[in-house]
C-alpha cells in the first residue's frame, strides 16, 4: 500500500538503473509529504533527502512512492497506521506484519505468479475463466493450486471444456459480480450489465467473443491483478519491522548489522535499535540493494567507524564455502517450537553449498543496551514531531499511547536507572559478541 505517489528519476545509469523503488514513510524524501503512519505528523514535508535516498538516486534508482508504515513505527502488526490497515496479500483477513507493512505488500506478486501458472497450465487455448481471481474468492481466501483448481473451476462454471459465455454470465449475475472482476475491470457506472449489453462489454474488452482470445484476456488480467508494483523497497527495523512483513508476505527482507546502513534522515524509534534495510523479491536483488545503501556516511551516523568498507555483496552470492554461521542459543530460547525447528532446518541447508553451521552462545545477549547518539538530528523533523505530540496526542494509536504512558511511568518512578544499567553492560555484551565471532 502506497502512502504517497511520486516519480523521482535518478541517474541514467548505475547499479539500480531501471529499478523502481518504494521508500518507507519514516524516511525523508525532499519535497514529498511524510507522515510516518501518524496523524501527529500530517502536513510535514521534509526539505532534505535521507542518505539512503541520495544513494539510490545516484545509481539510477527511480523512486515511485512512499510506502505505508505503522503509527510512528510502533507496531509489529499492520492495523495501527492512520491511513488504515494494510491487509495480507494472501489472506485479506490477516496482517502483513509491521511496521514496514506497505514496503512488503507492494513487492508481493503472488497474484501475478498465480495468474501466470493458472493461464499457462490449466486452461485450453480457447477459453478462460477469470472469475477465480477476485470475483469468486476461493475457499479460505487462498489461491488454489493444481489439481484443486480444476475441481473449483468445474464447480463454479460447469465443464470447462464446453465453457460458454452464457453460463459465465449467469454465474456473474447470480453472485452479483462482474465476471471479469469488479476491481480489475469495473462495468460502466458500477452496474452489472444484462443481455444484450453484456455481449458488447465483453466484445470491447477482449475482442470478438466468437474467437475469444486467451492471450488478450491474459494480458488484461496480469496488467491489473499483479501486486508487485515496485522492484525494491526500503524498510526499517527495530524489533522485527523488516523481517516480519517480509516473511508474512513471501518476499526477502534483511535487517543489516547495526550501523552498516546509515540511518541519517530517518525518524528514530530508539537509537540503539534503529536499522534501515532492503526488502526485495529475490535474494540476489537484496544483496545488490544492500551494496548500494550500505557504507560510511561521513560521520553523520555516529554508529559507523570511519574505516567501514562495503564488499560487493552481489558477487558473493554463489560463494558459501568457508563461511561460518553461528546459531545463537539465546536467540532460540523464547521462540515457538515450530519456528525454532523451521529456522534451524533452513539454516542447516546452507551446509550443502559448503558453509559451516554450528551452535554458539552469548549469555549476555539478552542484557545489552546502548548509548546516546552523536549523529545527525533533522531539526524540521523534530519540530514537526514535537508539534504533533503537543497538538494531537489523542490521534496517536493505542500502541503508541501505551508506550508513552509506560515511558512516563518509568521515568517518574525509576528515573534513568535501568537505562544506565544497560549502558554499563554494553561494553561487556559487545566484547562477548566479538569473542564469539572470532571462534566461528
Please say which residue of 176, 193, 225 terminates a domain: 225
β-pairing verdict for 20-24 and 62-67: parallel
Grid coordinates belonging to 395 = 490521534
pLDDT for the residue numbered 228 = 59
Q: What percent of the chain has pLDDT over 90?
A: 47
Q: Is residue 278 part of a domain?
A: no
| Cα 56 from chain centre | 18
Closest CA to 50 of 26, 72, 33: 26
Look at residue 110 in the predicted model and tell me its pLDDT.
Answer: 54
Integer Cα distance of 214 and 202 in angstroms? 13
In the predicted model, is pLDDT for residue 177 greater than 70? no
Q: pLDDT per residue over 218-271, tens digit each?
A: 333 333 323 457 899 999 999 999 999 999 998 999 999 999 999 999 999 988
Pairing between β-strand 2-9 and β-strand 62-67 as defined by DSSP bridges:
antiparallel
What is the gyration radius of the CA atoms in the chain, in angstroms? 25
> What pLDDT is attached to residue 52?
98
Q: Is the dihedral of CA 371, 377, 380, 383 positive or negative?
A: positive
132 part of a folded domain: yes
Q: Provide the 10 A C-beta neighbour count for residue 132.
A: 21
* 203 within a domain of the structure (yes/no): yes
Q: What is the pLDDT of residue 109?
A: 61
Specify the range with the lowest mean pLDDT, choosing from 45-49, 90-94, 402-406: 90-94
Mean confidence (pLDDT) of the chain? 76
* Burial class of 15 by CB neighbour count within 10 A (0 to 12, 13 to 18, 19+): middle
Residue 311 domain-assigned (yes or no): yes
Residue 100: pLDDT band with limits 50, 70, 90: very high
pLDDT at 335: 87
Kindly give the interhelix angle for 148-157 and 165-174, rounded to the nearest 10 degrees. Answer: 80
Residue ending a domain, among 173, 205, 225, is 225
Residue of higher predicted confidence among 202 and 224: 202
Task: Give residues with Cβ within 8 angstroms of 182, minimum separation 6.
Answer: 134, 135, 190
Residue 312 and residue 218 in one domain: no
Residue 35 lies in a domain: no
Does residue 434 carry a pLDDT above 80? Answer: yes
Residue 276 has phi, psi (to 5 degrees) of -115, 145
Distance CA 216, CA 283 (A): 33
With cut-offs at 50, 70 and 90, classify the pLDDT of residue 373. low
Do residues 252 and 286 lie in contact, with contact meaning Cβ atoms separated by under 8 Å?
yes
d(CA 185, CA 166): 19
Residue-wise burial string across 91-115, b where 16 or more C-beta atoms lie within 10 A, e elsewhere: eeeebbbbbbbbbbbbbbbbbbebb
Last residue of a domain, one of 225, 254, 279: 225
- To the nearest 10 degrees (0 to 180), the angle between helices 148-157 and 110-122 is 80
Decide if 358 contacts 347 (C-beta within 8 A).
no
In 10 A of CB 328, how many CB atoms?
Answer: 14
d(CA 88, CA 248): 8
Helix or strand holding residue 222 (H, E): helix 214-225
Nearest to 242 by CA among 269, 277, 205: 277
Domain residue limits at 168? 110-225
Q: Could you tell me which residues come within 8 angstroms of residue 342 by beta carbon, excluding any fewer than 6 positions away? A: none
Whether residues 326 and 429 share a domain: the answer is yes
Helix, strand or coil for residue 357? Answer: strand
Q: Has residue 260 been placed in a domain?
A: no
Q: Indicate the pLDDT class of residue 2, thresholds 50, 70 and 90.
A: low
30 within some domain:
no
Q: How far apart are CA 41 and CA 383, in angstroms?
A: 10
CA atoms within 13 A on the CB side of 34: 28
pLDDT digits (tens, 9 = 90+) for 15-71: 999 999 999 999 999 999 999 999 999 999 999 999 999 999 999 999 999 999 999
Cell numbers standing for residue 196 = 444484450
Specify the higher pLDDT residue, 162 or 175. 175
Q: How confident is the model at residue 284 (pLDDT cuts 50, 70, 90)?
A: very high
Q: Which residue has the higher pLDDT, 197 or 128?
A: 197
User: In this structure, are 221 and 315 located in the same domain?
Assistant: no
Instruction: Evaluate whether 22 touches 253 at the Cβ level (below 8 Å).
Output: no
pTM more than 0.75: no
Residue 425 lies in a domain: yes
Q: What total of structural domains would you count in the chain? A: 2
Amino acid at each position: 500500500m502506497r502512502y504517497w505517489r511520486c516519480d523521482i528519476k535518478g541517474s541514467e545509469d548505475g547499479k539500480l538503473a531501471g529499478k523502481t523503488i518504494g521508500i518507507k514513510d519514516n524516511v525523508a524524501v525532499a519535497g514529498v509529504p511524510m507522515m510516518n503512519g501518524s496523524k501527529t505528523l500530517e502536513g510535514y514535508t521534509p526539505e532534505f533527502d535521507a542518505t539512503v535516498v541520495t544513494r539510490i538516486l545516484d545509481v539510477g534508482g527511480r523512486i515511485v512512492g512512499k510506502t505505508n508504515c505503522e503509527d510512528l513505527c510502533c507496531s509489529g502488526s499492520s492495523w495501527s497506521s492512520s491511513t488504515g490497515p494494510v491487509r495480507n496479500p494472501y489472506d485479506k483477513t490477516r496482517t502483513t506484519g509491521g511496521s514496514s507493512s506497505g514496503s512488503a505488500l507492494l513487492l508481493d506478486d503472488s497474484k501475478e505468479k498465480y495468474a501466470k501458472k493458472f493461464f499457462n497450465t490449466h486452461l485450453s487455448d480457447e477459453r478462460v475463466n477469470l472469475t477465480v481471481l477476485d470475483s469468486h474468492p476461493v475457499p479460505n481466501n487462498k489461491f488454489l493450486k493444481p489439481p484443486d483448481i480444476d475441481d473449483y473451476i468445474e464447480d463454479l462454471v460447469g465443464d470447462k471444456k464446453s465453457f460458454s459465455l452464457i453460463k459465465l454470465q449467469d454465474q456473474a449475475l447470480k453472485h452479483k459480480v462482474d465476471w471479469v472482476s469488479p476491481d480489475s475491470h469495473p462495468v460502466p457506472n458500477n452496474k452489472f450489465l444484462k443481455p444484450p449489453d453484456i455481449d458488447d462489454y465483453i466484445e470491447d474488452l477482449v475482442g470478438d467473443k466468437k474467437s475469444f482470445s486467451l492471450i488478450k484476456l491474459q494480458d488484461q488480467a496480469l496488467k491489473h491483478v499483479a501486486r508487485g508494483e515496485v522492484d525494491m523497497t526500503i524498510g526499517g527495523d527495530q524489533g522485527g519491522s523488516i523481517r516480519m512483513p517480509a516473511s508474512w508476505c513471501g518476499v526477502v527482507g534483511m535487517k543489516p548489522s547495526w550501523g552498516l546502513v546509515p540511518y541519517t534522515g530517518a525518524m528514530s524509534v530508539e537509537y540503539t535499535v534503529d536499522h534501515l534495510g532492503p526488502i526485495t523479491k529475490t535474494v540476489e536483488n537484496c544483496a545488490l540493494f544492500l551494496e548500494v545503501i550500505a557504507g560510511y556516511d561521513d560521520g553523520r551516523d555516529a554508529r559507523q567507524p570511519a574505516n567501514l568498507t562495503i564488499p560487493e555483496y552481489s558477487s558473493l552470492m554463489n560463494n558459501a564455502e568457508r563461511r561460518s554461521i553461528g546459531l545463537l542459543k539465546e536467540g532460540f530460547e523464547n521462540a515457538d517450537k515450530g519456528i525454532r525447528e523451521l529456522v534451524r532446518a533452513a539454516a542447516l541447508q546452507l551446509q550443502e553449498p559448503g558453509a559451516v553451521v554450528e551452535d554458539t552462545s552469548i549469555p549476555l545477549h539478552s542484557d545489552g543496551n546502548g548509548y546516546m547518539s552523536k549523529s545527525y538530528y533533522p531539526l524540521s523533523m523534530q519540530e514537526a514531531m514535537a508539534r504533533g505530540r503537543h497538538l494531537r496526542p489523542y490521534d496517536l494509536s493505542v500502541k503508541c499511547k501505551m508506550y508513552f504512558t509506560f515511558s512516563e511511568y518509568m521515568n517518574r518512578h525509576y528515573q534513568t536507572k535501568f537505562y544506565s544499567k544497560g549502558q554499563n553492560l554494553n561494553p561487556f555484551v559487545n566484547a562477548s559478541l566479538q569473542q564469539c565471532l572470532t571462534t566461528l
